[in-house]
Amino acid sequence: MLSKKTKYGLKALTFIARRIDNKPVPIATIAKSENISRKFLESILLTLRKSGFLGSKKGKGGGYYLLKEPKEINMSSVMRILEGPIALVSCVSLNFYEKCEDCPDEKTCAVYNLMIEVRDSTLNIFNNKSLSDLI
Amino acid sequence: MLSKKTKYGLKALTFIARRIDNKPVPIATIAKSENISRKFLESILLTLRKSGFLGSKKGKGGGYYLLKEPKEINMSSVMRILEGPIALVSCVSLNFYEKCEDCPDEKTCAVYNLMIEVRDSTLNIFNNKSLSDLI
DNA sequence: TACTTAATCTATCGGATTAATAGATTAATT
DNA sequence: AATTAATCTATTAATCCGATAGATTAAGTA
């Protein structure tokens, strides 16, 4: 299941992307319009800024704005920043690989191949979707 | 990410399915062979029994055995019992549907359609996989 | 019958993670 | 100077996960 962080993050990104002028959008505006706890959203937007998706401007007329074209913002990268691994088990993760403690050998693991398949099909969707597709 | 419960459950099911004679397998045997906490596995097998996948026999020579052919044990149903919803958000879940509190309208939700797509592709895999494919 | 094996049931617990909150600070605009 | 709005640091509340403990019930075996 998707965390609220990810869900809110995606909603906020699309909200910001919908502004054609790309003028800064204040946190409060997004929070109110999308029914998100203002403070929680604050921390989410901060991570999106630190990851290079968003820029920010303080003071009056400030807020968050996109640093790239919506078309250039890939869903895989957003999901990885907000949610973490796309794979269902870390031993099949491309970007967050980790060996399973309990599993002596991945090649003989029954779960492994199934999860590879799921990962690939999900990745296939996220890789071919950008923020512009969510608008 | 998959819970350990699900991962262990899948491993245990394949372990049991590998016994061609389908004689009861004691919890302890599975736990030792698959490096799973015995007590934790106990509760997992209990839910698999209550869901109709496994039968059990007490006493000497007892243990858990499959109630159906591995070919008849569908991955979607196993996943739903062990992990819960296959969908990433409950508002796109077929079996565990729940309305999002924050979302006023699913039709205008940007996340919705993306998650529908992910659900369908994952479901497509699980629906066409059975326990026999894991062995 | 007594003993052993093994599942069953109830309950609890620590730790990690998630979601949310609070308050003080910094920066920009008017 | 006043206002607006992001930033930073810390804390809290709630939930969930993985694991554990102990007593009980059932079945086979000597």
CATH code at position B45: 1.10.10.10
pLDDT mean across residues, chain B: 94
Strand C bases contacted by the protein (CB, 7 Å): 4-11, 18-23, 26-30
Q: For the residues B67-86, what does the mean pLDDT come to?
A: 96
Buried b (16+ CB within 10 A) or exposed e, A18-37: eeeeeebbebeebbeebebe
List helix spans (H) across chain A. 4-18, 27-34, 38-50, 75-82, 110-127
Q: Does A134 reside within a domain? A: no
- pLDDT higher at A29 or A110: A29
Q: Is the residue at B21 inside a domain?
A: yes
Dmax of chain B from CA atoms? Answer: 60
Question: How many domains in chain A?
Answer: 1
The model's pLDDT over A43-99, given as tens digits with 9 standing for 90+, comes to 999 999 999 999 999 999 999 999 999 999 999 999 999 999 999 999 999 999 998
How much is the pLDDT for A30?
A: 96
A15 located within any domain: yes
Smallest CA–CA distance, residue A107 to chain B, in Å, is 12
Convert the pLDDT of each residue in B27-62 to its tens digit. 999 999 999 999 999 999 999 999 999 999 998 889
Q: Which residues of B touch A100 (CB under 8 A)?
A: 7
pLDDT at A14: 97
Q: DSSP string covering A34-45, please?
A: HT--HHHHHHHH
- Work out the pLDDT band at B80, boundaries 50, 70, 90: very high
Counting one residue from A and one from B, how many pairs have CB atoms under 8 Å apart? 84
Cα–Cα distance list, A129 to A10, A31, A124, B29 (Å): 13, 25, 9, 46
**pTM for the complete prediction?**
0.93
Res B63: pLDDT: 93
Of B1, B11, B102, the CB nearest to A36: B102
Question: CA of B21 vs C1' of C16, distance in Å?
Answer: 42
pLDDT band at B22 (very low <50, low <70, confident <90, very high): confident
**A85: nearest CA in chain B?**
B1
**Residue B124 maps to a domain:** no
Q: Per the domain annotation, does B94 fall within a domain?
A: no
Could you say which of A11, A87, A102 has the minimum Cβ distance to residue B35? A102
Do the Cβ atoms of B64 and B27 come closer than 8 Å? yes
Pick the residue with more confidence: B108 or B69? B69
What's the confidence (pLDDT) of residue B117? Answer: 97
Name the residue facing A14 among B102, B110, B126 (closest C-beta). Answer: B110
Q: Which among B8, B125, B128, B132 is the top mutation candidate for probing chain A, defined by the most A β-carbons within 10 Å of its own β-carbon?
A: B125
Residue of A nearest to B93 (CA): A1
Question: In the numeric block, which tokens belong to residue A108?
Answer: 């003989």
- Return d(Cα B86, Cα B12) in angstroms, integer: 20
Q: Kindly state whether residue A52 falls inside one of the protein's structural domains.
A: yes
Residues of B in contact with A85 (CB under 8 A): 1
Rounded Cα distance, A111 and B5, in Å: 13
- Contact call for A35 and B118, based on CB within 8 A: no
Residue A101 counted as domain residue: no
Distant-in-sequence, close-in-space partners of A51: CB < 8 Å, separation ≥ 6: A81
Q: Is the pLDDT of residue A104 over 90?
A: no
Task: State which residues form the domain around A45.
Answer: 4-66
Q: What is the distance between the terminal CA atoms of chain B, rounded to a whole angstrom?
A: 22
Q: CB A102 to CB B36 under 8 A? A: yes
pLDDT band with cut points at 50, 70 and 90 for residue A100: confident
Which distant-in-sequence residues (6+ apart) come within 8 Å of B130 by Cβ?
B70, B71, B72, B73, B74, B75
Q: Classify residue A100: in a domain, yes or no.
A: no
Q: Are A133 and B111 within 8 A, CB to CB?
A: no
Question: Cβ of A11 and B135 within 8 Å?
Answer: no
State the sign of the Cα–Cα–Cα–Cα dihedral A93, A94, A100, A106. Answer: positive
For B112-127, what is each residue's pLDDT tens digit? 999 999 999 999 999 9
Smallest Cβ–Cβ distance between B34 and the set A90, A102, A126 belongs to A102
Pairwise CB contact (< 8 Å): A111 & B134: yes
